[in-house]
Amino acid sequence: MTKAERLQFYSTYTPNTDPGEYGYLFQELPQNLPELCRLIKCQLIHPAMIKKGRHLLTDYTRNEDETFYRITDMLEALVERNADGLTYDRLPSERLLLSCRFHSLLLISMLRSQGIPVRSRVGFASYLSENGRKYIDHWICEVWEEAGKRWIRVDPDREIVDVQGDAFLMAGDAWLMARDNEINPQLFGVKKSWGMPYIRNNLCFDLNAVLGNELGYRDFPPLCQKAMDELDVEEWQLLDEIAIYLQDPDEHYAQLQALFSEHDFLQFKG
């Protein structure tokens, strides 16, 4: 796949990001990333923020991650709760209570409607922890910046454009650092789940995301359903290889696709 073909691939809707009959909602979108992120936050509330705004939420006061999956599901509910569609004036009670995966899904769908290459990436953000010393499970986007001929990291949930440095670590980087004993794997995770199993799972999620499969939080491929001490040497080596390739997924797209196709246990079958 040439560079032009890769960019075209990331400009094309996947089943989970295709707005379908709700594509009309994208006809008058803002043309810059900060405004798109602001618009997204007018449609969605992260479940972690529910406590702070519970007094503004009437009928919907629980995490809705399990209610929605594809972008069409989200857009349908948004229209049902406010027929004006993607409006800055949407009341908190009319928004969807969805976490980072869904924020990234909405930005991807919006940008692809404008022909802009974008992909979901899965990893860990230190800026989500209280003191910045832990890395919290997080899903963001990589957006192709044509002017700079580079991918920039965009966090639509936190409205951060061009996330810098190691504030966000891709799952592959976290895996390799932990494997090389450069960092304690127990610093990676969320709530009560931490360590190498979480990094392994996000590594597989990121592989799928780069290949155009935006999985849900519970869509664990068979390899992620095994305990870490049940992995054999070949499986550990395969995960190392994937992590290395994911450091530059454009250069190694063919290798990543080949490994994914060759090993059924990397694929979520539903």
Instruction: For residue 33, give its domain range.
Output: 3-266
Taking only the tens place, the pLDDT of each residue in 15-73 is 999 999 999 999 999 999 999 999 999 999 999 887 655 555 565 567 899 999 999 99
Tens digits of residue pLDDT in 155-202: 999 999 999 999 999 999 999 999 999 999 999 999 999 999 999 999
Q: Identify whether the C-beta of residue 127 lies closer than 8 Å to the C-beta of residue 174.
A: no
Per-residue DSSP letters for 26-68?
A: GTT--SSHHHHHHHHHTTEE-GGGHHHHGGG-SS--S--TTT-
Residue 228 burial (CB count, 10 A): 13
Nearest to 10 by CA among 267, 255, 250: 250
Contact 91, 25 (CB under 8 A): no
Q: Say if strands 96-97 and 118-125 run parallel, antiparallel, or are unpaired.
A: unpaired
Q: DSSP per residue over 69-121, as a string? A: -SHHHHHHHHHHH-TT-S-TT--GGGSEE--HHHHHHHHHHHHHHTT--EEEE
* Pairing, β 96-97 against β 44-45: parallel
Contact 150, 237 (CB under 8 A): no
DSSP secondary structure, 165-197, as one string:
GGGEEEHHHHHHHHHTTSS-GGGEEETTEESHH
The two tokens of residue 216 are: 């849900």
Among left, alpha and beta (phi > 0; psi -120 to 50; other), residue 180 is alpha
Supply angle C-alpha 213, 219, 223, rounded to 5: 95
pLDDT above 70 covers what percent of the chain? 96
What per-residue confidence (pLDDT) applies to 139?
A: 98
- Count of domains observed in the chain: 1
